[in-house]
Structure 1
Amino acid sequence: MLYSRYLSAKKNTNRGTLPLLVFLHGFLGSSEDWLESVKSLDEFPCLLIDLPGFGESRHLKPQDMPSCLSAIETTLKKYTTTQTKVVLVGYSMGGRILLQGLAKQIFSHLSVIGCVVEGAHFGLRDQYERAARYTNDESWAQRFEGEPIEQVLNDWYQQAVFSSLNDDQRQTLVKVRSDNLGESIGAMLRVTSLAHQNYLLPNLRKQSVPIWYLCGEKDDKFKQLAAQSGFPVTIVQGAGHNAHHECPILFSEALRAIVERFSETDKASNKYSNNH
């Protein structure tokens, strides 16, 4: 079972039982990445999961995507029943894992009322793009496995997708991420590589679970993907690719508003079902 942090709701509301928010972090991250954001979401119960190869699950070496999804499913079963309303939240790699889980009906036993993905890719359609991505990810995986981790992380955070970070933010991330194990990082990068992911958008558009896209104002690449997806989109002002890290309060406010929309839709759906 994956390591996870369960945070019970601390604030009473007049809205009855609120949904459980389940968070999956991005590549190189851990459940700790969400702690600042969930401080202001304390009316909700929250489950923060360390994915295989990271955080307190760093010694769990992933074998493939099905085994990764199975580990998440097992962890969720510990904290939920079929009656538990759930909202899934995933950033970047974590978002892609959630999207693949939805496409494969992995979460069908849960009462998932919505899924929020932050800066997550739907997959590559072009075989040449996929081949280039495979080469790129394999190169990084080998570096993580064979070189000093701080050296590799310094280069990793120079990539264009992290251009909104300043030097202090980059160094903070390098320091925090240096606790990871190079072998586990390499394995997870291979398992979750975009090169191996199917193009999920046509499948996802048919899903019954509502999907909402969230990304930073400065994250041009993923803003474009979000706009093309056809899903509702929320933009976090002033943020780049990692909106919940760069602007945790604005991220929390945006997420609360999205969850409230999911809850309203779920209640309306149940009311309709009960009347017919």
Structure 2
Amino acid sequence: MLTIHQVFTTPSKPKLLLLHGFLGNHRDWSQVLNSLSQGFDVYLVDLPGHGDSGHVSVNDLQQLLKLLHLSIGANVSGPYHLLGYSMGGRLALHYANFCHQHNVDDILSLTLEACHPGLTDSQQQTQRWQSDQGWAKRFANEPLETVLNDWYLQPVFAELTPQQRQTLIEARLTNNGEALANMMTIMSLANQPNFWDLPQSLNYSVHYLVGALDSKFLGLAHQWQQHSPKLSYQVIADAGHNVHRAQSHAFSQAVQHQLEP
């Protein structure tokens, strides 16, 4: 089972389940917990190879989805709002599709922070697979600090200051390199189905949060909303790829506003 940390305030409050991104864990949400727990009973999932689920390994995506389903069922009673960041957002898309296909109706809404709906170009898929496999090989075989130093120099993290980058590297050194490599392979965007149409088929609202400084995902948010009008998106000022870290107050306000009854 996956470890799910529970932040209860009042059982009568709506439930909110959070999925962290690649390299993260439940502590990544610490800056928004106080605000979010004012309106929700919050559940924080540690994904395989990460945080307190570092010992957990899965063989493929279907096993991961079934494990997530069992873990949620064992820890969360009743319906809940689902929110995922980056890789966690893509997993949330996979899981929403899984629940839709299996007639599971526990999800009240879906909120996605800076995640990709899927590559539609075969050349891009090939390039992404080669890139992910290169990183996976490095995570599995090289000193973790060396790989992390290079990881956080990627353009998507360009808004980080040197101190912020170093803080993230130090926080990620507790992860298991081989387990990270496994998750990178399983969750590769190269193999992700096309979820551009998914919001239209779900019977609940789908929201998207993106930082104004995250040009790549800002463009994706606009394209996705044009493709699937049911999707709503909100741009958070002075934030890059990780909105909940860069602008925790604005992030929490946006989530509460989107999900209020």
TM category, shorter: over 0.9
- The one-letter code matched in structure 1 to 2:26 is S
* SS of residue matched to 1:109: coil
Q: CA deviation at 1:92?
A: 0.3
Question: Are the equivalent residues in 1 in contact too, given 2:65–2:98 (CA < 8 A)?
Answer: no
Who is 2:151 aligned against? 156
Pair 1:5-2:1 in alignment? no
Q: Give the Cα–Cα distance (whole angstroms) in 1 for the partners of residues 127 and 90 of structure 2.
A: 19
Residue 242 and residue 108 in structure 1: after superposition, are their counterparts in 2 closer, same or farther (change >3 A)?
A: farther
Shift of 1:249: 1.5
Say whether 1:194 aligns with 2:189.
Answer: yes
- The residue aligned with 1:249 is 249
Task: Note if contact 1:37-1:248 (Cα within 8 Å) is conserved in structure 2.
Answer: yes
- CA RMSD, Structure 1 to Structure 2 (Å): 1.5
1:139 and 2:134 matched: yes
Give the gaps of 5 or more residues in structure 1: 11-15, 264-276
Q: In 2, are the aligned partners of 1:5 and 1:31 still within 8 Å (CA)?
A: yes
SS at match of 1:249: helix
Any conservation in 1 of the 2:4–2:75 contact (CA below 8 Å)? no
- SS where residue 145 of structure 1 aligns? helix
**What amino acid maps onto 1:62 in structure 2?**
V
Aligned residue for 1:236? 236
- Give 1 or 2 for the bigger CA radius of gyration: 1
In the alignment, which residue of structure 1 is the partner of 2:34? 39
- 2:89 corresponds to which residue? 95
- Counterpart of 2:64 in structure 1 is 68
* Deviation of the 1:79 alpha carbon: 2.8
Report the counterpart of residue 76 of structure 2 in structure 1. Answer: 80
CA distance in structure 2 between the aligned counterparts of 1:39 and 1:161, rounded to whole angstroms? 27
**Structure 2 residue 197 is the aligned partner of structure 1 residue 209:** no
1:62 shift after superposition? 2.1
Instruction: Kindly indicate whether residue 201 of structure 2 is the aligned counterpart of residue 223 of structure 1.
Output: no
In the alignment, residue 239 of structure 2 is paired with which amino acid?
A
Contact 2:16 2:80 in 1 (8 A): yes
TM-score between both structures, scaled by the size of structure 1: 0.88
Cα shift at 1:108: 4.2
**Partner Cα distance (2:224, 2:12) in 1:** 31
Aligned amino acid, residue 28 of structure 1: L
In terms of mean alpha carbon deviation, does 200-209 or 43-52 score higher?
200-209
Are residue 129 (structure 1) and residue 127 (structure 2) matched?
A: no
Shift of 1:203: 3.1
Asked if residue 20 in structure 1 is aligned to residue 19 in structure 2, the reply is no
Cα distance in 2 between the residues matched to 1:138 and 1:181:
17
Q: Secondary structure at the match of 1:114?
A: strand
2:111 to 106, 116, 125: 116
One-letter amino acid of the structure 1 residue matched with residue 64 of structure 2: C
For residues 33-92 of structure 1, what are the alpha-carbon distances to aligned partners after superposition, in whole Å with 9 as ceiling and x for unaligned?
0121111122210000000110011111221111111111111112333xx231100000
Q: Are 1:30 and 2:35 counterparts?
A: no
Confirm or deny: 8 A CA contact 1:40 1:249 kept in the other structure.
yes
Q: Is the 8 A contact 1:99 1:204 kept in 2?
A: no
- Contact 1:215-1:241 within 8 A present in 2 as well: yes
Aligned to 2:228: none
The residue type paired with residue 19 of structure 2 is: L
Q: SS of 2:201's equivalent?
A: coil
**Per-residue deviation, 1:110:** 4.0
1:154-183, CA deviations, whole angstroms, 9 ceiling, x for partnerless residues?
A: 000000000111111100000000110110
Counterpart contact for 2:112–2:207, Cα < 8 Å = yes
Gaps of 5+ in 2: 226-230
Structure 2 Cα separation of the partners of residues 171 and 229 of structure 1: 33
Map of 1:273 onto structure 2: none
SS, match of residue 59 in structure 2: coil
Aligned counterpart, 2:163: 168
Q: Do 1:144 and 1:186's aligned partners in 2 also have CA atoms closer than 8 Å?
A: yes
CA distance in 2, matches of 1:255, 1:92: 16
